């Protein structure tokens, strides 16, 4: 009888599987019109997504299988689940156009992940090229958690931002705009990237103080900062 063999890679892969499972649960909750549960499950999926990379480094068990599994999980949790959620909450009223617009999140996210996997060799660990799909999902989900009302839906004012947000997030995912990777909150991490590490600590502190209500505004700042930095360096190179 063959013996089951435990390898360290099982630990990060388990976190990755939980990421995918949360994405699947989010889709189920959306289909049952439990929109806030669906949104929070995507946030929980993002936590598992961050932890699987941490556990892979901790157990020194990074693998090609883990990379591919992580990408597949991300497509479910941060592509399919948010796209279905925003369609069900708001974009359904535009019928075919609503389907096309909401699908941009899934298509752009899938392309973003495929490009990342292909370019993994020689990858600059300080930056991501294009907005990471979990970040795009959190921007949209935090918008829903902040401005959606279970009784009245979105206000007339906030509903005007939904389509532009979906399109902008989709374009940023397939763009060449650089975004910082998650910094290591250690002495070594602070020395390597003091600005990003300080911002991460301040963001965590702000989330604690506001009980999570600042999430949308923090991620919008990250979004806008990346765009302005890209424009600044582009203009600087053009002026030479």
Q: Which domains does the chain have, with CATH numbers?
A: 10-174 (1.20.120.1760)
Q: What is the pLDDT of residue 159?
A: 96
pLDDT (average), residues 35-57: 91
Distance CA 3, CA 77 (A): 33
H or E stretch including 127?
A: strand 127-129
Residues 6 or more apart whose Cβ sits within 8 Å of residue 31: 84, 88
The yes-or-no verdict on residue 194 having pLDDT over 90 is no
The yes-or-no verdict on residue 1 having pLDDT over 50 is no
Contact between 92 and 30 under an 8 Å Cβ cutoff? The reply is: no
**Could you give the residue ranges of the DSSP H alpha helices within the chain?**
10-31, 35-59, 64-74, 81-89, 96-118, 133-147, 156-159, 162-173, 187-192, 194-209, 215-239
Contact between 75 and 109 under an 8 Å Cβ cutoff? The reply is: yes
This prediction has a pTM of 0.90
């Amino acid at each position: 009888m063959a013996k089951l063999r435990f390898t360290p890679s099982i630990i990060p892969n388990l976190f990755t599987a939980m990421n995918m499972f949360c994405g699947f649960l989010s889709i189920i909750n959306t289909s049952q019109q439990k929109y806030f549960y669906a949104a929070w499950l995507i946030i929980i999926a993002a936590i598992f997504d961050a932890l699987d990379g941490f556990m892979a480094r901790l157990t020194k068990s990074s693998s090609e299988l883990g990379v591919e599994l992580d990408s597949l999980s991300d497509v479910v949790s941060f592509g399919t689940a948010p796209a279905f959620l925003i369609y069900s909450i708001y974009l359904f009223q535009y019928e075919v156009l609503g389907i096309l617009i909401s699908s941009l999140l899934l298509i752009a996210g899938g392309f973003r992940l495929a490009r990342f996997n292909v370019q993994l060799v020689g990858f600059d660990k300080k930056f991501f090229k294009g907005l990471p799909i979990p970040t795009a999902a959190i921007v949209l989900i935090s918008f829903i958690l902040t401005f959606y009302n279970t009784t009245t839906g979105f206000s007339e004012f906030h509903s005007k931002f939904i389509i532009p947000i979906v399109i902008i997030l989709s374009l940023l995912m397939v763009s060449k705009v650089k975004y910082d990777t998650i910094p290591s909150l250690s002495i070594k991490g602070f020395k390597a990237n003091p600005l990003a590490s300080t911002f991460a600590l301040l963001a965590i502190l702000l989330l604690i103080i506001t009980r999570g209500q600042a999430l949308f505004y923090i991620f919008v700042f990250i979004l806008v900062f990346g765009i302005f930095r890209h424009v600044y360096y582009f203009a600087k190179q053009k002026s030479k």
